[in-house]
Amino acid sequence: MNTNRDNPNQEFPESQVPQAVISRLSLYLRELQRLVREGQETTSSTQLGSLFGFTDARVRKDLAYFGQFGYPGIGYRVEELITAIKGILGTDQSWEVIIVGIGNLGRALLGYKGFENQGFRIVGAFDSDPAKTDTQIDGVPVYAIEHLADFVTSRKIRLAIIAVPAMAAQKVVDQLVEAGIDGVVNFAPVTISLPKSIQLIGVDLAIELEQLSFAVVNQRENP
Amino acid sequence: MNTNRDNPNQEFPESQVPQAVISRLSLYLRELQRLVREGQETTSSTQLGSLFGFTDARVRKDLAYFGQFGYPGIGYRVEELITAIKGILGTDQSWEVIIVGIGNLGRALLGYKGFENQGFRIVGAFDSDPAKTDTQIDGVPVYAIEHLADFVTSRKIRLAIIAVPAMAAQKVVDQLVEAGIDGVVNFAPVTISLPKSIQLIGVDLAIELEQLSFAVVNQRENP
DNA sequence: TAGATTGTTAATCGATTAACAATC
DNA sequence: TAGATTGTTAATCGATTAACAATC
């Protein structure tokens, strides 16, 4: 065994990996980082799974998509597994990220410490309101929206966060795509269309509350 | 047909409805609300699905969990389907919601207009910092955290949003559960444990970027 | 009527779990 | 060694899709 630990296979069979697996990897990573802070050196699929109500088999299967990271009889070395998962998620490197739209939400995201810790550095912000531009917020320079495309192209920015009003979102995304962006997290409550090769994650805060409403009204048993 | 439209079955077989279906209902609702603004009166499973890259069969199946809402040969009446989905999600009524933690993110959520539109009214905010309490932000009163339990109990608040630091989240949730909360949206990047009967939705902003990072690194084809 | 589209069944596809030999 | 735990296979479970009679 250990072929992947010793000689990591970079050609992940990504088309076969379910999206749900990737979400769970992020959850594992978050808990592993907590465990390492608490000084724990090894963990097991049973321990990791029980934190989320997953079976041990599911944890092992999730990791098995990407290689062999554990030691039979021992479990997983926490530090090692953190490194492995970061490698899988692509957060072993640091990403330069921009934010478009400096309203309430954009400003909050600018100041959010959680990004930096996970390998995402906000290097620029953009807004159409001249009153907000050519300043710095939380140490991040705020530019006029007119400079968006240039910035993305010249700085080779790959990831962007959209926090503009719903009406403006599609146009902003179109500009980003034109400028060569690779992925977008969209907080505007609107469905965005874009080329298949550009990655999109949508986060709709009202929808999260709707999901909660349904769960409460229907008294779901949660795991 | 039409038994459910005429005599809605309130006993949804909720345990059989996959979580993914509920997420899609929220997406359908958002697009239906846009269609109604654009003056469209009817839609079809094909149109609705194509907006998201879903098959028409999937859209019909999703709705079929809850009743019969369409008209063969015609499709779905947009207004009618909006009403039906709101009924399913429980957002035909308005919910009173509180926010705990008035940092950058909490403040942004306080001012977020999208909640009100979907039937969620923020009626109180709570923080441990005396400098922030006994004021109003965006028309919402901010109280000391000590008043949290009393407020939830006496006002019979059912839904709460947590935007406190990770370290404080579990304690806040414990207080809310004790005070009788029914559901929580947690923005703190930490795994929360709570009784099975209390509903929990976790939103981790850094995890959203991690998911994007993986997708970009692995050049996923999106639908 | 002919064309469109639903709701639903059966077939397909994919994900989860249980079990266990291999390993430390 | 005995106990613990992995990675993986086969069986199970669940979700999606294709197809079509029923309906407008």
Count of other CB atoms within 10 angstroms of residue A34: 16
Last residue of a domain, one of A37, A65, A88: A88
The model's pLDDT over A131-183, given as tens digits with 9 standing for 90+, comes to 999 999 999 999 999 999 999 999 999 999 999 999 999 999 999 999 999 99
In one-letter notation, the amino acid at residue B22 is I
B172 lies in which domain range?
95-207
Mean per-residue pLDDT for A191-197?
A: 94
A118/B206 touch (CB, cutoff 8 Å), yes or no:
yes
pLDDT value for A65: 96
Do A102 and A72 reside in the same domain of the chain? no
pLDDT score, position A222: 66
Same domain, residue pair B83 and B144: no
The sign one gets for the Cα dihedral B164, B169, B171, B175 is: positive
The total number of structural domains in chain A stands at 2
A91 Cβ contacts chain D strand, under 7 Å: no
Instruction: Give me the amino acid identity at B39.
Output: G
Least confident of A11-25, B53-67, B113-127, B206-220: A11-25
C-alpha–C-alpha distance, residues A136 and A145, integer Å: 15
Displacement of CA A16 from its chain's centroid (Å)? 20
Does residue B4 sit within a domain? no
- Domain match, A125 and A174 both: yes
Residue at A118 is within a domain: yes
pLDDT over 90 at B95, yes or no? yes
Residues B122 and B192 in one domain: yes
B71 touches strand D (CB under 7 A): yes
| CATH number, position B127 | 3.40.50.720
Residues B19 and B119 in one domain: no
Helical H runs in chain B?
3-6, 19-37, 45-50, 56-64, 78-89, 104-110, 113-117, 148-155, 166-179, 205-217
Q: What span, in angstroms and rounded, lies between the C-alpha atoms of A187 and A163? A: 5
Confidence of residue A13 (pLDDT cuts 50, 70, 90): very low
Q: How far is Cα B123 from Cα B140, in angstroms, rounded to an integer?
A: 6
Q: Tell me if B145 is assigned to some domain.
A: yes
Please report whether residue B221 resides in a domain: no
**pLDDT over threshold 60, residue A191:** yes
Partners of A212 on chain B (C-beta within 8 Å) are 159, 183-185, 199, 201
**pLDDT given at position B16:** 75
Last residue of a domain, one of A88, A119, A145: A88
pLDDT tens-place string over residues A55-111: 999 999 999 999 999 999 999 999 999 999 999 999 999 999 999 999 999 999 999
A chain contacts of residue B8, beta-carbon cutoff 8 Å: none
pLDDT above 70 as % of chain B: 92
Strands B120-127 vs B135-137: parallel, antiparallel or unpaired: unpaired
Residue from the list B112, B204, B222 with its beta carbon closest to the beta carbon of A205: B112
Name the β-bridge partners of B100: B126, B162
Which chain B residue is nearest to residue A164, measuring alpha carbons?
B112
Does any domain span residue B190?
yes
Looking at B88, B122, B145, the residue that finishes a domain is B88
Same domain, B100 and B168: yes
Please indicate whether, in this complex, the C-beta atoms of A90 and B206 are within 8 angstroms of each other: no
The nearest CA of chain B is from the CA of A48 a distance in Å of 12
Asked if residue A60 keeps its beta carbon closer than 7 A to nucleic acid strand D, the reply is yes
B3 in any annotated domain:
no
Whether A188 and A157 share a structural domain: yes
Among A16, A31, A19, which Cα is nearest to A65's? A16
Q: Does A68 share its domain with A106?
A: no
CB A172 within 8 A of CB A148: yes
> What are A133's two structure tokens?
């531009």
- For A178, other C-beta atoms within 10 Å of its C-beta total 12
The CA R_g of chain A, rounded to the nearest whole Å, is: 20
Q: Are residues A104 and A82 in the same domain?
A: no
Distance (Å, rounded) from C-alpha B131 to C-alpha B85? Answer: 42
pLDDT of residue A219: 83
Confidence (pLDDT) at B142: 98
For residue B121, count other CB atoms closer than 10 A to its CB: 11
The answer to whether A113 touches B188, Cβ cutoff 8 Å, is no
Q: What percent of chain A has pLDDT over 90?
A: 90
Closest of B216, B113, B111, B31 to residue A160, by C-alpha:
B216
CATH of residue A35's domain is 1.10.10.10
Residue B220: pLDDT band (50, 70, 90) is confident
pLDDT digits over B126-181, tens only? Answer: 999 999 999 999 999 999 999 999 999 999 999 999 999 999 999 999 999 999 99
Whether the CB-CB separation of A183 and A200 falls below 8 Å is answered with: yes
Tell me, yes or no, whether B171 and B113 share the same domain: yes
pLDDT band at A220 (very low <50, low <70, confident <90, very high): confident
Query: Would the pLDDT of B74 be above 50?
Result: yes
What does the alpha-carbon distance between residue A48 and residue A190 come to, in Å, rounded to a whole number? 36
User: Angle formed by the axes of helices A19-37 and B205-217, to 10°?
Assistant: 120
Characterize B166-201 residue by residue with b for buried, 16 or more Cβ atoms within 10 angstroms of its Cβ, and e for exposed.
bebbbebbebbbebebbbbbbbbbbbbebeeebbbb
Supply the mean pLDDT for chain B. 92
In a domain, B2, yes or no: no
Query: Taking the CB of residue A92, how many other CB atoms lie within 10 A of it?
Result: 14
DSSP β-bridge partners for residue A121:
A96
Q: Do residues B145 and B193 share a domain?
A: yes
Sorting pLDDT into bands at 50, 70 and 90, what band is B11? very low
Q: H/E element holding A155?
A: helix A148-155
Looking at the structure, do residues B27 and B122 belong to the same domain, yes or no?
no
CA–C1' nearest nucleotide, residue B74: C5
